[in-house]
Structure 1
Amino acid sequence: MLAKAGSKRISEGYDDSPATHYSWDSTVNNHAKLKVGDVIALWDATELLGLSVIEDIETGQGEKETPYCLACGKADVALRKRKLPRFVCWNQECKHESDEVGWKRKEITTYRSRHEAGWIDARGTLTAAEVRALCVQRASQNSLRELRWHDFHHALTHGGVPLPLRVIDTTQKAITDGHGTATIRVRRGQPAFRKHLLEVFGEVCVFSGPAPVQALEAAHLYSYAANGKHHKGGGLLLRRDLHRLFDLGLIAVNPRTKTLHLAGELKAYPDYARLDGAKLAVPVTPDHVKWMAKHWEMHRANVPDDLMPRQVGPSHVAIV
């Protein structure tokens, strides 16, 4: 499902943060169609922002003031951006134009998705026009509209800026399989958490070695948003580009040998290829290894048996 985000929605009272959650209510067309396990793509007036898989949908009750047409009494009223009169009725039998509308307060059901686990930033991949063309109803003006998923998937993975969607695929499979696997992803840590990691490890990327502090990000090795606290051994410093590749599963750590394993497509790039099989640049604790094992289980299920790690801790959670 494609969802519209932007500053206008915030001014209308919606609580949005594209990478973590999205809000809508029962006044929105298609409001009841979204469900846990669905892919949600967020866009604005210019481009695709990103996509993820819905892990949970919180519902509630509230009230909202909605406009209605003074001529026909229906709520199919739109505020024009430039043209006057300011309002136009969308009712095909009315089409009344006016600078004034009526307002009524109604009870609504509110919805708020949680979709942090599989979030992939997609800025720079598809323009707004390209995204509209991939909707089931291309001319629709609804803030929630259905995408032709297979075409959308192909456009992202085979476009001018190919975007790996392993996180989406594995997260959706885990959720639709009945939550047998709780997918979690590496997230940028808060400033205090990053400061703590710098004090412990110094200005060193766990994959590549010493790096400028400006290039290092604090990686949570569990879903911080889901449990709201820092776990022992739950974070390391990663160089920004390597953080992204690890996030997408293109780099994984064999928890048995503590060496890096690169996806085939990365080996075409010499600067990355030299990391394949490399040892970690900092000593890690058994707690770190436990989280790395979960990431390995999710992204390296098909590697040869001699590379498979021995079981470390429970297998029902995975980093993606």
Structure 2
Amino acid sequence: MSPGRPRTQRAFQAVVLHAYERRCAITGDRIRPVLQAAHIRPVTAGGEHRLDNGLLLRSDVHMLFDRGYLAVDPRHRLLVSPRLREEFGNGEEFYRRAGQEITVPGRPRDRPNREALEWHLDEVFLRT
């Protein structure tokens, strides 16, 4: 098994933690108990346990990403849905970071896959 293609969620978590140097790709937080390996395209939607289909995210950031309030464009910039503010009246931590590049692994082949990011933008992200 190559390091970029773990077969289980546990192995996926370990590979993503290592590639992102145990730091949330969006916030930079290094609090290990709240860091999670997030799938860009979930396995249930045809995604795979692959490093380039993963992001290391703080647990609350992971939930916002999975629910479409946050996204990452193919140039690895953070996108924030206007619905975050409309529905919850907050999210300033993320609006301040909107448009900024997230942290990605050093090796280009390990970085988030363009097709997976585009799928998330088209199928999950709450644009309006």
TM (norm. structure 1) is 0.31
CA distance in 2, matches of 1:292, 1:261: 11
Question: Residue deviations 1:212-249, cap 9 Å, x none?
Answer: 11110111233325769523512221110010001110
Equivalence for 1:280: 102
More strand by share: 1
Structure 1 stretches (4+) deviating beyond 3 angstroms?
225-229, 283-287, 299-303
Instruction: Answer with 1 or 2: which has the greater Rg.
Output: 1
Maintained 8 Å contact 1:254/1:292: yes
CA distance in 2, matches of 1:272, 1:227: 28
Instruction: Give the percent of matched residue pairs that are identical in Structure 1 and Structure 2.
Output: 30
Which of these residues, 288, 291, 300, is aligned with residue 116 of structure 2? 291
Which of these residues, 73, 82, 88, is aligned with residue 264 of structure 1? 82
Number of residues of Structure 1 aligned to a counterpart in Structure 2: 114
Question: Residue deviations 1:42-94, cap 9 Å, x none?
Answer: xxxxxxxxxxxxxxxxxxxxxxxxxxxxxxxxxxxxxxxxxxxxxxxxxxxxx
Structure 1 residue 265: deviation in Å? Answer: 3.6
Equivalence for 1:4: none
List alignment gaps of at least 5 residues for structure 2: 1-7
Structure 1 residue 290: deviation in Å? Answer: 2.0
CA distance in 2, matches of 1:245, 1:228: 18
Maintained 8 Å contact 1:266/1:273: no
Question: SS in structure 2 opposite 1:279?
Answer: coil
Structure 1 residue 289: deviation in Å? Answer: 2.5
Equivalence for 1:101: none
Maintained 8 Å contact 1:221/1:291: yes
Equivalence for 2:29: 210
TM (norm. structure 2) is 0.71
Residues 85-104 of structure 1: matches in 2 within 5 Å?
none
More helix by share: 2
Question: SS in structure 1 opposite 2:113?
Answer: helix
Maintained 8 Å contact 1:259/1:277: yes
Quickly say closer, same or farther: Cα 1:199–1:232, change in 2 above 3 A.
Answer: closer
CA distance in 1, matches of 2:123, 2:114: 14
Equivalence for 1:196: 15
CA distance in 1, matches of 2:32, 2:26: 14
RMSD: 2.8
CA distance in 1, matches of 2:82, 2:45: 32
Q: What letter is aligned with 2:19? A: V
CA distance in 2, matches of 1:206, 1:213: 13
CA distance in 1, matches of 2:63, 2:112: 22
Equivalence for 2:66: 247
Q: What letter is aligned with 1:213? A: R
Structure with the bigger RCO (C-alpha within 8 Å, sep 6+) is 2
Structure 1 residue 276: deviation in Å? Answer: 1.5
Residues 28-39 of structure 1: matches in 2 within 5 Å?
none
